Homo-oligomer: A and B are copies of this chain.
Amino acid sequence: MSAYHPLTLDEAIQIAQEIPNLFDEQSNLQVREIGDGNLNLVFHITDSNSSKSIILKQALPYAKVVGESWPLSLDRARIESEALILAYQLCPTLVPTVYRYDSELAMTIMEDLSDHIIMRKGLIEGNRYPLFAEHISDFLARTLFFTSDLGQNQQAKKESVKQFINPDLCKITEDLIFADPYVDAETNNFNAAIRDAVEALWADQPLHLEVALLRMKFLTSAQALLHGDLHTGSIFVTEQSTKVIDPEFAYYGPMGFDIGAVLANLALNYIGQEHWSRSEEARASYREYLIDTLRDTWSQFDTKFRALWNEHAVDPLAKVPGYQDLYMQQLLQDSIGFAGCKIIRRTIGLAHVADIDTISDDRVRERAERLALTVGRALILQHRQVTSFDAFIDTLEQATKGVQVS
């Protein structure tokens, strides 16, 4: 198979069959295309004899995100594959194994995670993942530390920056997170019932100033190799396992953008619990679980990142007294600011989250959306003054109390 073309089901099977040491000659491969057809083809290929299975993911040369298709470089398949391989080296248990990457076909063949569930779905179903905070804090601390100037040779890091220049996918983020939600842009997508709150946001100049600062940080701060899209739809979980997938937005950016994505998506589920159809106690208990997960994610990240720093820092000035504390405070502030931006974009921007969009009662959904805007805005406005992660929890809990009163 040579030049790029979208694969057929038969071609996908043929390619899978040719991978050494995976399927044997007696295999009987079955294939299904399970992608949503927006950005990628995703083939699920199973051997009905051995029940071994794999995923073959092929990038499409466009994204169907804004009505018409949006041309996208196939280079993102290389970036995704190389970022996965790098994450595998740093956190082998926390990402799928890559079996093969083909640059011409823009195709990656990797471990099948069908025994896992997309975390967003799991949270919406009310499941708990007791090891998630431990796992995701490991993932964040190790991938961010070891790809930064703190944890890797500074000259090698520059070559890595070059390897992960990712203009097309960064543009999606720059537009959809850091620009469009703050003006009356065509890409915006919001419930007509909250138009008053959205218009208030469009007129909110102090908020725009903070977003401008966060946007500039996203554009210029080459701190570490980010996943770049680390929401709960990019994470597969079971009670015992966490697997981060889909790093096609990977690029060198500010660490707080990845941390903030995790925080924001847990907070969005917390906010979505407005719809909880079970008892009030069950809702309170689930929200407590989410708060604990938020707290543990930050505090374990903080502890682990500091430990890596103390043990593995390669920067000659890394051990200067006071530097680590200042650095961690800056990371906290960035994470909270970026979390706020992500909460807002998921409420009024192009792409929403099912945690809120699937609330069937219109009035409850509206309440959740207003709550999300309140929380997102408050996080962004305060981010440069934050000195403790409590600020994040307090903002979420206080805003929720305020809205619930109504």
Can you list, as one digit per residue, whether each of A204-244 has a CB less than 8 Å from chain B (1) or not (0)? 01101101110110011111000000000000000000000
**Shortest CB distance A387–B (Å):** 17
Tell whether, in the assembled complex, residue A158 and residue B154 are in contact, meaning their CB atoms are under 8 Å apart. no
| Segment with Cβ contacts to B, from A6-14, A107-115, A166-174 | A166-174
Please measure, in the bound complex, the distance between the C-alpha atom of A159 and the C-alpha atom of B171, giving whole angstroms: 13
Please measure, in the bound complex, the distance between the C-alpha atom of A211 and the C-alpha atom of B316, giving whole angstroms: 11
Tell whether, in the assembled complex, residue A320 and residue B208 are in contact, meaning their CB atoms are under 8 Å apart. yes
Q: Given the complex, which residues of B lie within 8 Å of A215, measured CB to CB?
A: 315, 317
Asked if A161 is an interface residue, CB under 8 A from chain B, the answer is: yes
Q: Given the complex, which residues of B lie within 8 Å of A223, measured CB to CB?
A: 220
Asked if A4 is an interface residue, CB under 8 A from chain B, the answer is: no
Asked if A178 is an interface residue, CB under 8 A from chain B, the answer is: yes
Q: Is the interface of A mostly helix, strand, loop or mixed?
A: helix
Question: Do A219 and B165 contact each other (CB < 8 Å), given the known contacts A154-B174, A178-B317?
Answer: no
Asked if A138 is an interface residue, CB under 8 A from chain B, the answer is: no
Tell whether, in the assembled complex, residue B154 and residue A219 are in contact, meaning their CB atoms are under 8 Å apart. yes
Asked if A183 is an interface residue, CB under 8 A from chain B, the answer is: yes
Question: Do A212 and B154 contact each other (CB < 8 Å), given the known contacts A222-B220, A316-B179?
Answer: no
Tell whether, in the assembled complex, residue B167 and residue A317 are in contact, meaning their CB atoms are under 8 Å apart. no
Nearest chain-B residue to A166 (Cβ)? B158
Tell whether, in the assembled complex, residue A154 and residue B171 are in contact, meaning their CB atoms are under 8 Å apart. yes
Asked if A402 is an interface residue, CB under 8 A from chain B, the answer is: no
Tell whether, in the assembled complex, residue A320 and residue B219 are in contact, meaning their CB atoms are under 8 Å apart. no
Tell whether, in the assembled complex, residue A155 and residue B168 are in contact, meaning their CB atoms are under 8 Å apart. yes
Q: Given the complex, which residues of B lie within 8 Å of A208, measured CB to CB?
A: 317, 320
Q: Report the 7 A-B pairs with minimum CB-CB distance, sorted nearest first.
A: A155-B167, A212-B317, A208-B320, A149-B219, A158-B167, A162-B165, A179-B316
Known: A209-B320, A221-B222. 14 other contacts (CB 8 A): A149-B219, A154-B219, A158-B165, A158-B166, A158-B167, A158-B170, A159-B165, A162-B162, A178-B317, A213-B326, A215-B315, A216-B327, A221-B221, A222-B222
A residues touching B (Cβ–Cβ < 8 Å)? 149, 154-159, 161-162, 165-168, 170-171, 174, 178-179, 182-183, 205-206, 208-209, 211-213, 215-216, 219-223, 315-318, 320-323, 326-327
- The 10 sampled A-B contact pairs (Cβ below 8 Å) are A149-B220, A154-B174, A154-B219, A161-B165, A162-B162, A182-B317, A183-B316, A205-B322, A213-B326, A215-B315
